[in-house]
Amino acid sequence: MTSSGARTAEPVDRSRIKAVAFDAFTLFDPRPIFLACEAVAPGRGSELASLWRTRQFEYQWLRALAGQYQDFFAATQAALEFAAQSLKVDLRASERERLMRGFFEMRAWPDVPQALRDLRRAGKQLALLSNATAPILEAALTNSALQGALDRIISTDRIKSFKPDPRAYQLGVDLLGVAKHELVFVAFAGWDAAGAKWFGYPTFWNNRQGAVEEVLGVKPDGSGATLHELTRFIAGR
């Protein structure tokens, strides 16, 4: 155990890695969605975005735990309603629609196309493994001219639950036909990195936000601000 209570991870055998599964936000930039909050709530956009993002995941997890599933889009919409009401921000229907539409307008981070090409040349299967719905994921791929760049588009909507439910991570094993130790999971959020490690995946934390590591008893096997670090990690460099 380290001083933070995290277990020391077993070394990743990179020679056995056959597949890479990405959380959606490691590939697609969500920032414009939340920056748009300032346009609909001048002077309070940052506050609205922060509460919305927090409730977005809390509502997903609460519903999953209670057996009251709503998909990513519906839970996110409910979280926006809560955030606006809590802050007494009067959003018109057109403004709510504008913010929610942002999830269908995401585009890839600049480093993504080259990283995917590098991994493909290295012979890896590539997949999305996301809480977002399939239409959201497919729209982001189209917006980014990345149709066909991935082998599988996997939404946890298939199991009516969300990561970090172990059944959500199991979808990668089942649909890609690989063992846990043969799949590297690439997380955007620290909690997702912890969930993937708990499940047993070799895990890379694409920490684009420069966030503090979660104190949950596990650590990612690698981390970096871009996917260039991921390709070096998988190559053993």
Active site residues: 23
Query: Sheet containing 183-187: which strands, arranged edge to edge?
Result: 152-155, 125-130, 19-22, 183-187, 203-206, 222-224
Beta bridge partners of 155: 130
Give Rg (Cα) of the chain. Answer: 18
CA 127 – CA 27 distance, rounded (Å) = 11
- Residue 211 falls in which region: left (phi positive, over 0), alpha (psi -120 to 50) or beta: beta
Task: Let me know: does 190 contact 205? Beta carbons within 8 Å.
Answer: yes
Pick from 184, 176, 181, 179: nearest CA to 150: 176
Identify the residue whose tokens are 């809390």: 58
Whether residue 25 contacts residue 137, with contact meaning beta carbons closer than 8 Å, is answered with no
Quick one: tokens of 133?
A: 């719905």
